[in-house]
Amino acid sequence: MIERLDLFRSLAARRTDEVVVMTMSATLQWPQVSDHPLDFDFLAFGMGHASDFGLGLALARPERRTIVWKGDGGLLMSLGSLVTLGRYGPENLVVLLLENRTYEMTGGQPLPPGADFAALARAAGVEGGGATGRGTVARLESLEAFEAALGALLTEPGPHFVVLPVATRHPLPPVQHTDHAGRVRALRRALGVE
């Protein structure tokens, strides 16, 4: 298991002008390591759809990379999105799946134990797929493995789908639902489209 906050610190240290979309418990911890105009908090924007939103964003802004932190519970709510990723995922999209095997935000209820998310992504056509035919799928089980892969994730053509088994020993701060319309306008301003 990787400590999730360490994972976040690792990406935040290397990230430059990429959009970072996050949802659910990632929205509570990512701000502890990053305060960037291209951070986008997707919490309460639609159950399971963070990577769909990221796919649209990546298609609209091909000049920069879009990175999505998404949970395994959320993926179960939109498993078909893997097939869409395998068909249309652009080269500048990176989906980082935080696999904690629980519905963490609602109290840690367990997920169905048998699902292999990397295998599901491969079966959905992500590996060797996407719009580029160069999609990748990986399961990285340590912080060192993630840091070793990060350079390619930030530069090589994707789409990339990475499963990261995580846990956290840090208490989560309380949820603060902020202005949803304001979040979208702030991101559009940061992207120069508004």
Partner 1 sequence: MSDPGASAALTVEALKGLGMTHALIIPDSESRLLFDRLTSDDDVTVISPTREGESIAIAAGLWTGGARPYVVIQNTGLMEAGDALRGCGLGPRIPLRLVVGWRGYVGAQQGRAPIDSAFTYTEPLLAAWGIPSWHLLSDDDLGALAEMDRTAAATSSPAAVVTGYAFRP
Binding site for partner 1 (CB under 8 A): 44-49, 52-61, 78, 80-81, 83-84, 88, 180-181, 183-184, 187-188, 191, 193
- Strand-pair partners of 167: 3
Nearer to partner 1, 47 or 119 (CB): 47
Closest to 13 measured CA to CA, from 31, 38, 30, 34: 34
Judge contact between 96 and 154, C-beta under 8 A.
no
Token reading at 102: 């629980």
Minimum distance between the CB of residue 66 and partner 1, rounded to whole angstroms?
8
Minimum distance between the CB of residue 41 and partner 1, rounded to whole angstroms?
11
SS (H, E, C) 76-104: HCCCHHHHHHHHHCCCCEEEEEEECCEEH
Nearer to partner 1, 142 or 178 (CB): 178
Minimum distance between the CB of residue 184 and partner 1, rounded to whole angstroms?
5
Residues 6 or more apart whose Cβ sits within 8 Å of residue 16 = none
Burial (CB count within 10 angstroms: exposed 0-12, middle 13-18, buried 19+), residue 177: exposed
Minimum distance between the CB of residue 91 and partner 1, rounded to whole angstroms?
15
Nearer to partner 1, 33 or 79 (CB): 79
Nearer to partner 1, 83 or 115 (CB): 83
Nearer to partner 1, 36 or 183 (CB): 183
Minimum distance between the CB of residue 100 and partner 1, rounded to whole angstroms?
22
Minimum distance between the CB of residue 141 and partner 1, rounded to whole angstroms?
29
Nearer to partner 1, 81 or 136 (CB): 81
Residues 6 or more apart whose Cβ sits within 8 Å of residue 92 = 58, 61, 62, 64, 65, 66, 158
